[in-house]
Structure 1
Amino acid sequence: MTVGDESLHRVAVLVRSGLLPMELGIVHRLFGTATDAAGRPLYSVVTCAVEPGEVRTDADFTVNVPLGPQALRDADTVIVPAAIEDYRPQRRGRLSPPVRAALTEIPPTARLASICTGSFVLAAAGLLTGRRATTHWKSCPELAALYPEIDVDPDVLYTDDKGVLTSAGVAAGIDLCLHMIRSDHGADVANTVARGTVVPPHREGGQAQYIDRPVPEPGDTSTAATRAWALEHLGDGLTLEDLARRAATSVRTLTRKFRQETGMPPMQWLAQQRLQYARRLLERTDEPVDRIAAEAGFGTGTAMRQHFRETLGVSPRAYRNTFRGEA
């Protein structure tokens, strides 16, 4: 796999001094193992630095990066991981001249993404202005304060706003990369990559579930059993009241617990599960759209088409034409 292989989608990772090595590894592992049905690679992944050579990490080793920022010029996707300097308040909101110069090498057509506090780099460069974005939940208040022009969402694992993506803490980089692979090549390819890495292909909810919270009151129970039951009854047209009845609790209590455990309200979670199930059926079967809509719990093909357009920007038919049989 070469840097100049134009048959592959080119992913460039821009690393900085104080790099968090795990975040670099995430990108290479996930994109590097994505293949088509014949086992051919789908991505070429390269690492570059503002200056070629040894790059310090936050561990007791360095990373040798032979490529400079010129490698960004041919990138289809550019990913900016976090660095230790992002955690220093005096550095946030500022870009060093070398980093600013490196960002000018990125072509305007490239997809941009950040992992964890790498979002501060995109923000300082004005690349998140007017967009929805996130970062590690501990840093979300500061991101919002420094950049009021950004719609900061502290609850989600990642955001995707018109080709500019951001993710929450370190492990959310996995969710972000799988989302990009899923968007490029469909759920089956992303699921295969996830299985090979032994991670869930799609984590439920957002980072709100990882924020420190008070110890639950005695008698509080998890919604896990209710969620498992709901997944087995997606086609039943479940309502919020149905979920509360199954959980033997009030709607208000159920909603509170769902937000704590998944980072979203019950019906939003349910809609997410229906969408994922419908996508799998579109990719793997020849069932008509109306039948898939019924099985997934959308009720009618019209309702499912509307949901697909609002969420994915395409119709179910277009989604199937794009991804059917690629995995």
Structure 2
Amino acid sequence: MNKAVSYLPPGAAPPGTAWFLATSKSGLGHLRRISNIAVHLAQDDTRPVLGLMTNAEVSGLEERDQAAYSHVRLAERAQMASRLAAESVSGVIVDTALVPGIERQDSPLVLVLREMPKDRLEGFRLPGGRPWDLVIVPNPEDHWMPDTDSGFARDIAAVGWIYRPSDALPRPPAPSPRLLIATGGGGKADGATRLRRQIDDMITSLRRRISKAFTVEQALAARAPSQARLKEADRVFDPGGALNDCFGAADIVVSTAGYNSVLELAATDTPTMLVPIARSIDDQLARAELWGPRLGCYLNVAAPGMGLDWLAYQIETPSRRPVWNLGPSGGAEAARRILRLLS
């Protein structure tokens, strides 16, 4: 934990704190996206004190992300609004989460709304007829915009992709290609088990099929369920907050199709196979179908042999691919809009 961050009990935050709210038990996607915005906001001397409220330890964040917050508070999602009720709050920024009671806050409310299936969007409308003061959409406007009426939000702004550029680790000469498995915890325990079996079976098939040696490295955080640990991995390591840098150092990556991972991979030249997993408010299959051909391929459960063919080819004839132009990270624009709202 970075020394700039302290966990606070209820009621200990300075008056006028702007609170970032994110869930992080099953993954760090929400936390990383919202912290990207906080890092940009923290660079402005006129901004309020920034606090983070989340439902799990923040050990997977980089030090610069942790340092953006003056303090961190742990709270279950259902308790977050009540924890803020007795405080002087200058604003609340929520990342794609349903926080019961947050509509009763007197301060401005901001929703960072990642793309989602249309039938899940209505669940993010605030109760009682109150609109969000600002909805930030973390993608280009021509990619996706929420189809809502005027009562959903006072202002909706697409700010571009919010992502961390990769400072690629050096790729030292290696006797064999390095295949990095970055499928995280696979969601909950049952999902982790299914995904682990799927990946293990794929690696076993590759080793039987091709004669060229290759090394399998699995990036797995300490908080991931034990069911996610691959039996076929030659090395398992905890990347901490620097998984994006590991992406550029690998020869091939197999990754789930979460928002952050896909963008961080797009910013590298590493051939990638995307593996979509089921998420309640995130259509990873749609994302994999779009980004898979751009980054390499995606694992289609209807035709798994195609993914195996692609991996075998990449191992036998290693090559890089063009970096995808994402434009500047939208974190800076999101921070400017939040600061304007809170000023």
Q: Same fold (TM over 0.5)?
A: no
Using CA pairs under 8 Å that are at least 6 residues apart, name the structure with larger relative contact order, 1 or 2.
2
The structure that is helix-richer by fraction is: 1
The structure that is strand-richer by fraction is: 2
